[in-house]
Structure 1
Amino acid sequence: MAASTFKKVCTLLSFFLFVHHVVLLSTVASVAEATALLKWKNTLSNETQSRLHSWTSLPNASANLNHSTDPCTWFGISCNPAGSVVRMNLTRSGLQGTLHGFSFLSFPNLAYLDLSGNALFRDIPHQSSYLSKLIYLDLYFNQFSGKIPPEISCLNSLTILSLSKNRLEGPIPTSFGNLRNLTYLYLWGNKLSNSIPEEISHLNSLAFLDLSENHLEGPIPTSLENLRNLASLNLFQNQLSGSIHEELGHLNSLTLLDLSQNHLEGPIPTSLGNLRNLTLLYLWKNKLSGSIPEELGHLNSLVLLDLSDNLLEGPIPTSLGNLRNVTVLNLFQNQFSGSIPEEICRLNSLTTLGLAENQLQGPIPRSFANLSNLQNLYLRKNRLSGPIPQGIGGSINMVSLQLSENQFTGSLPESICHGGSLQHFSIINNGFRGRVPQSLKNCTSLVRVFLNGNKLTGDISQVFGAYPNLFIIDLSHNHFYGTISSNWGRSLKLGTLKMSGNNISGRIPPEIGNNIQLHVLDFSLNHIVGAIPKEIGKLTSLTKLWLNGNHLSGVIPIEFESLTNLEFLDISSNKLFKSLPRNLGNGFSKLNYLNLSHNNFSEELPILLMSLFHLSKLDLSYNSFTGEIPSEISKMQSLEKLNLSHNHLSGIIPTTYEEMRGLLHVDVSYNELHGLIPNNKAFLDAPLEALQDNKGLCEERKIEIPN
């Protein structure tokens, strides 16, 4: 009995001593890990150290182990029951520094390390391979540089590895093929080069592979077909070449395949039609050729298909009408021909259809009006013809409708902005005629509108409204008439307003001065009368102003000196008169084109005009300027083309022209100039017509120019 009791006591004592020993060991381990963390913290920037304020200093550990600080309570640190660090999550913690002061060997139980979203730099130490139990390593979005250490391949337990969005370069280590437990491999957004290693195909557990946005080159390895668990393959924005091999069609688990923005060529393999789980297929911006395989119509799970910006040709296959779940179908910038298949209209989930910049012809199918979820329709730059079916644009969700540069005719559908969501509307260079629909007048959602190059008609003061969100509108080269409405002054976000080449009459409303965000204003080639309103001087953001080809009269407003951002000014072919403002040129430091020709300006040329040193073209022809050409014209060192013809300028041509080395073309004909022409290439190479009808110009060789 006593022996039994003694045995129990010994057993209990042994257990107690074992527990005490384990606790003592774990305490020692905890101290070692805490010490290692603090040493690393001290290598980081001062700002970083303040953010890790919970990582406090240790007392003398050798004096009293029981009073050591417990790292398990520190920010971002988690421990196992024995008190050893198993998890570090310091994502987006503002860390600045390197990993060279981090003692990887001190963390034998670390399984999860997330340092993403910081500012860690220099190379990734090869000692990271000492973390033998690591299953999760995320260094995404830092500033790591140098090569990927091949020693990472010793981390046999790794399931997730993310080194994306750094500055890593060189090849992907072939030893990565040893990471047989890896399910996620993210290396995108670096500067990795060379080819994709064949050894990647050994990663049988891999579900997500992203090598995009690097400098990888060469062909896509056919051995990738072995990755039968792969759900997502991202290789976009590299320099991969060769063809898309048939073997990719064996990856039956794929839901996403992105090979866009490479140099891939040849046909799209028919085997891609076997990827029945595929939801996203991006092959855009390559050099793929041939036709679209009918087999792509078997991809019933597909939500997005983008084959744009390739060399694909032939008709659009009718089988694409089977893709009932597709929301985005982009085929633009190819060489597709034939008509738009009616079967596309079966795609009831479609929100975006991009067929622009092809060679499609014929009408838009009438059943397009039934695509009630359609938000974006891009058909520009084709050979499509006929009228636009009624109901197009009637979708309550329609945001962008682009029909430019086709051969459409007829009137615009009344429903063009029926849903009130239309923001971008473009019909440039077609044959549309008739009036603008009422729905467009009331379409306050409009942001960008291009109606130029058609035969639209109507009173411009009545057919357009006020648009609080409008940024650009071009109504040029139509048959609009009437006067410019003051309502345009209520479209306060307007940056570009163009009405050139219509039959607009009346005056420019002073309310145009309210559009202080205008950068471009074009009222040219109309029948506008009256004075240029001084309120245009409020448009201080203006860079381009066309008022030429009208019947404007009066003087150039002195307020023009406020247009300090102006780069292009054309007010030629009007009835403006009197002298130019003496301060003209005072604030035009950015002006590079100035055309005041075909007016009735008189008196002398202002000296300040000669200070426009950025001006490359100056046309003052067909006016009544008098006096001499100012010698200060030599300040205009950027001037390439100068036309002073058909005025009453007198005296000699200043010799300072010889300093104008950039001058290429000059015309001073039909004035009252005399004497030697300057020793300047533009004058010496000028045809006689550019110098004739003066009072006696001659070259130094005494060759007289005909009067």
Structure 2
Amino acid sequence: MDAQDFWVVIVIGFCFQAQILSSQNFTCNPNDVKALEDFTSSLKTVIDGWGSSFSSDCCKWEGITCSSSFSLGIGLNNSIDTFRVVKLELPSKRLAGNLSASLGTLDQLRTLNLSQNYLIGTLPTALFHLRNLELLDLSFNDFSGPIPFGIDLPSIKFLDISQNLLNGSLPGSICDNNSTQLRVLNVAANYFSGNLPPGFGDCTSLEDLDLSTNYLTGTGDAIPKGLFGLRKLTQLSIQDNKLAGPLSEEFGNLINLVRLDISSNGFAGTIPDVFYSLEKLQYFVAHSNRFGGQIPPSLSSSSTLSLLNLRNNSLQGSIALNCSAMISLTSLDLGSNQFDGPIPSNLPSCRHLSDVNLARNNFTGEIPENFKNFHSLSYLSLSNCSLSNISSALQILQQCHNLTTLVLTFNFHGEQFPADPTLHFEKLKILIIAYCRLTGSIPQWLSTSSRLQLLDISWNQLEGTIPVWFGNFSNLFYLDISNNSLSGEIPRSLTGLWSLINGRSSTEEPSPDFPLFVWRVSGRGLQYNRVWSFRPTLDFSNNNLSGAIWPDFRKLRSLHVLDLKYNRLSGPIPTSLSEMVSLETLDLSHNELSGIIPPSLVDLSFLSKFSVAYNELYGVVPTGGQFLTFSSSSFEGNSLCGYDASPCPSGEDGPLGTWYGKSNKDYTGVIAGLGVGFVFGIACFVGIDRYVWTF
């Protein structure tokens, strides 16, 4: 290049830069303006910053990016056609209504992102014929119907229509018409059905394919062979469908896979021994299928695998992990299978393993002695594993200094809850030792676990009183000591639980696909749950507790569930409970409570379950608020009236207590009369029925 050519290039560069910098004043093509106008007219909401009148300066509107014809390679001119809309990005703008087909006339559009809105209707066919479109994101809306037939998106690289109401079959021609640049395809969480189309094998550039949570079917060759030729694929998510049959050995051809999720399908047979070739695989999730046999050697010795989840299958035999090879393993979930023999004692040698779920298997014996060297262990669930010797188990596990979650339900049946004062779990946040029928009392060593957030020791045979030091657990948001034989008063210190006063403390989940424990659900047996799904709760039901309900419970404004049923609590229901503004469940049934139901409880606007059945209450059931939704079973077994099963007497001949629930003007005179009577005839009140004292 000579000097003259050099300066020509420089001048052209400055001109191009000036063209771009002048974009603050440019105007967009009138055809694009018309397309955007039609787009807004199909919406039920207004887009902030767009205004009600349209002008030619749409390139300045929020969410719009324009480019010049020069930069688009169309040719430089000074006409109004110079600037074209190349990006329309309005995610999370609460847009509602239909999507206009006019957007299909934005023929220079490269990016269209309308995700996380409230758009409805079918997908316009014209959108799938934009030849310059590179990114299309319509996820998290309410679009319905099928994907338009005859897709022609030769430039598309990113296509996300997940989290909608779309149905029909998946198009097999998505990579036809030279649409070979597609890298990300996400159609998850819709209602697509039928077989996986073989045409996916033409998407040779595909790196991320998410077909999860649909109704896709297939047996035998459920996954078309063409898909196994996608050598660039790093993530494959086909979980939560209806795919069945054996798992093809051709999965070993996907040599760049990093994450593979085939969970919640009907895959059966043995897991193929093909993981030696998957040298980049970090996550393998295959829970909730019908796999049998043993874990293949190539999987149990993978050096790259970080998360292995085979929960809820029919795998059997002993667990034989090659921990010296599995140097990356951090999360292991083999729960709900048919593994037998002893708990594998070599797990501590998996030096990065922190999350372990072996619950609901057929193990025998005790927790291995060398678990005391399990220094990386943070989460451990061994529920329903037929374990014995709880004293030894706790002595060993207390030496796991990073242990934050310990679940040992359905074990140690009938053993004594150890009271060993040397036990100490400094970092423990979650402790669940329920359904064990343990005897003894609540041990003092628990008081040293000051970080506890969730404690469940229900369904045992514990005696004695509730410790006063429970009130010192400032992070505790969930306490279940139900179905024991505890007696005495509820400690007043529990009304000062800091987390239930100021909001529950933050909780950390073990990993993206690691259920903490199995929890009971009325009428449905057991299910998996995570910490964040547990409502802030105090459950003291089915014990022998006595005394009053403290008015200071009103301070627990973040409590959602207060369950005190089947005890021997007495005295009135405190009016101050109406200040527990987050209550969803209040069960005081089967006690010895007396007096009236405080009318102020109608102010509990979130209350969905309420019962005071079988106490010694009288008067009118309050009306209004959530009380209009409660059935008669919530009030039976008392001397109450004003609900379906027991209407109140007409007129004013009933007991004075039945006047509660009327408006103030209905009994103002009565109260005044009683006041005068009190002043001039106090001696006459000695023999009056207790109903009078409710005022």
Distance 2:445 2:271 in 1: 43
Instruction: Give TM-score, length-normalised by structure 2.
Output: 0.69
Q: Tell whether 2:346 aligns with 1:343.
A: yes
Matched residue, 1:143: 142
1:369·1:389 contact (CA, 8 Å) conserved in 2?
no
1:148·1:172 contact (CA, 8 Å) conserved in 2?
yes
Question: Which amino acid is the alignment partner of residue 353 of structure 2?
Answer: L
Q: Tell whether 2:167 aligns with 1:160.
A: no
Point out which structure has higher relative CO (alpha carbons under 8 A, 6+ apart): 2
Matched residue, 1:238: 241
1:518 CA displacement: 7.5
Distance 1:489 1:404 in 2: 28
1:55·1:71 contact (CA, 8 Å) conserved in 2?
no
The 1:33/1:239 distance shift into structure 2, 3 A limit, reads same
The 1:547/1:461 distance shift into structure 2, 3 A limit, reads farther
Distance 1:499 1:50 in 2: 53
Distance 1:307 1:592 in 2: 44
Distance 1:521 1:73 in 2: 55
1:557 to 584, 588, 595: 595
Distance 1:332 1:133 in 2: 49
Distance 2:459 2:49 in 1: 61
Matched residue, 2:50: 52
Question: Which amino acid is the alignment partner of residue 406 of structure 1?
Answer: N
1:159 CA displacement: 2.2
Distance 2:265 2:419 in 1: 40
Q: Tell whether 2:228 aligns with 1:228.
A: no
1:248 CA displacement: 0.8
Distance 2:612 2:341 in 1: 45
The 1:420/1:147 distance shift into structure 2, 3 A limit, reads same
Q: Tell whether 2:473 aligns with 1:467.
A: yes
Task: Map 1:208-607; keep pairs closer than 5 Å.
Answer: 208-218=208-218, 219-319=222-322, 322-387=325-390, 388-393=393-398, 397-407=402-412, 409=415, 411=418, 418-422=425-429, 424-430=430-436, 432=438, 436-454=442-460, 456=462, 460-461=466-467, 464-476=470-482, 484-491=490-497, 493=500, 495-498=537-540, 500-501=542-543, 507-508=547-548, 510=550, 513-514=553-554, 517=559, 519-522=561-564, 532-534=570-572, 536=574, 538-539=576-577, 543-545=586-588, 556-558=594-596, 567-569=610-612, 582-583=618-619, 590-592=631-633
Distance 1:311 1:361 in 2: 18
Matched residue, 1:92: 91
2:573·2:598 contact (CA, 8 Å) conserved in 1?
no
2:462·2:486 contact (CA, 8 Å) conserved in 1?
yes
Secondary structure (helix, strand or coil) at the match of 1:362 reads: coil
Matched residue, 2:171: 173
Question: Which amino acid is the alignment partner of residue 89 of structure 1?
Answer: L
Q: Tell whether 2:118 aligns with 1:77.
A: no
Task: Map 1:636-675; keep pairs closer than 5 Å.
Answer: none
1:400·1:425 contact (CA, 8 Å) conserved in 2?
yes
CA RMSD across the alignment: 3.9
Larger Cα-atom Rg? 1
Secondary structure (helix, strand or coil) at the match of 2:215 reads: coil
1:384 CA displacement: 1.3
Distance 1:39 1:366 in 2: 72
Matched residue, 1:625: none
* More deviation, 155-164/127-136: 127-136
1:613 to 640, 644, 647: 644
1:199 CA displacement: 1.5
Question: Which amino acid is the alignment partner of residue 150 of structure 1?
Answer: F
Question: Which amino acid is the alignment partner of residue 91 of structure 2?
Answer: R
The 1:194/1:51 distance shift into structure 2, 3 A limit, reads farther
1:230 CA displacement: 0.7
1:31 CA displacement: 3.1
The 1:347/1:104 distance shift into structure 2, 3 A limit, reads same
1:277 CA displacement: 0.9
Task: Map 1:12-51; keep pairs closer than 5 Å.
Answer: 31-45=29-43, 47-51=45-49
1:403 CA displacement: 0.5
Matched residue, 2:687: none
Question: Which amino acid is the alignment partner of residue 142 of structure 2?
Answer: Q
Distance 1:138 1:176 in 2: 15
1:193 CA displacement: 1.3
The 1:499/1:250 distance shift into structure 2, 3 A limit, reads same
Matched residue, 1:667: none
1:185·1:210 contact (CA, 8 Å) conserved in 2?
yes
1:569 CA displacement: 4.8
Distance 2:574 2:560 in 1: 10
Distance 2:318 2:487 in 1: 42
Matched residue, 2:198: 198
The CA deviation string for residues 577-634 of structure 1, in whole angstroms up to 9 with x for no partner, is xxx66527677864526786xxxxxxxx95x45x55369xxxxxxxxxxxxxxxxxxx
1:363 CA displacement: 0.9
1:278 CA displacement: 0.8
1:273·1:297 contact (CA, 8 Å) conserved in 2?
no
Distance 1:482 1:46 in 2: 61
2:548·2:571 contact (CA, 8 Å) conserved in 1?
yes
Distance 2:150 2:617 in 1: 76
> What are the ranges of 5 or more consecutive residues in structure 2 without an aligned counterpart?
1-7, 20-24, 77-81, 501-535, 647-695
How many equivalent pairs are there?
Answer: 552
